[in-house]
Amino acid sequence: MNARALLAPLLVLALALAGVAAAQKEGAPAGSPKAAAASGAEPIPAAELPKEARETIARIHKGGPYPYAKDHAVFGNREGKLPKQKHGYYHEYTVKTPGERTRGARRIVAGRGGELYYSPDHYNSFRRVKD
């Protein structure tokens, strides 16, 4: 096969990849496939979370009190792993980790719309919580 015959399929492939990359840069509305993938494939029932996460969720629903000074701080979503929203939409809360002397890595992030996300690994991954 000559070089000209390969050029057209390569061009089509390059354009397709560019389109995918551009789509991934844009924010995704909640409920979109990108948002679902960003927050874990399947929502996790709250009953399946660690006891400490369920306790944190109960405090969130009550409006506090929160045991850590940084609880209820604005979560910026700088990595874009949650659905894109305006700054101030998300707030973070510490999930106590037994045996940890510091805040540990576990968090709940709450959106103003009532949605909750659990991160067991300091925002590296999220699962939407089915409350």
Q: Compute the mean pLDDT over every residue in the chain, rounded to the nearest whole number.
A: 81
Q: Domains of the chain (ranges plus CATH)?
A: 46-129 (3.10.450.30)
CA atoms within 13 A on the CB side of 127: 16
Per DSSP, 47 falls in state G
Tell me which of 24-38, 49-63, 91-105 is least confident.
24-38
**What are the residues whose beta carbons fall under 8 Å from the beta carbon of 74, sequence distance 6 or more?**
87, 88, 90, 91, 92
pLDDT in tens, 2-40: 655 655 554 444 444 444 343 343 344 444 444 544 555
Q: Which two tokens stand for residue 122?
A: 């300091």
E strand map for 4-130 = 44-45, 73-75, 90-94, 107-111, 116-119, 127-130
> Which residues are annotated as catalytic?
92, 122
Max Cα–Cα distance, the chain, nearest Å? 71
What does the pLDDT average to over 88-110? 96
Q: Which one, of 109, 120, 32, lies nearest residue 78 by Cα?
A: 109
